[in-house]
Amino acid sequence: MRLQTIQIVAGLVAAVAFILAFMAAGAAVASSLFMLMGLAAVGWLAYSLIKSVTHRSGKTKPPARA
C-alpha cells in the first residue's frame, strides 16, 4: 500500500500537534511549580509576620511620639 500525499501531511501535522501539546504541558507544569513556590513564600511571610506580632504584643510598648 502506497501512502498518499494527504496521509503524509496528516502524519506530519499530527506529529507537530503532539510536540506542541507536550510543550504546553511542560509550560503548565513549570508555571504550576512557580505558583506553588510563590504561594509558599507568601504563606511563610504571613506566618512569620503574624508570629512576630503576637509574640511582641505583650512584652513591649511602641515608643511614644512627640
The total number of structural domains that make up the chain: 1
Let me know if residue 52 belongs to a domain. yes
> Which set of grid coordinates corresponds to residue 7?
496521509
Q: Among all chains, which residue has been given the C-alpha cell 506580632?
A: 53
Q: Among all chains, which residue has been given the C-alpha cell 498518499?
A: 4
How far is residue 7's CA from residue 66's CA, in Å, rounded to a whole number?
A: 85
Which domain covers residue 12, as residue numbers? Answer: 1-56
Pseudo-torsion of CA 7, 11, 14, 18, nearest 10°? 170
Question: Would you state the pLDDT for residue 61?
Answer: 65
Question: Would you state the pLDDT for residue 1?
Answer: 66
Q: What is the pLDDT of residues 31-60, one digit of tens each?
A: 999 999 999 999 999 999 999 888 765 556
Question: Would you state the pLDDT for residue 35?
Answer: 96
Q: Is the dihedral of CA 32, 34, 40, 46 positive or negative?
A: negative
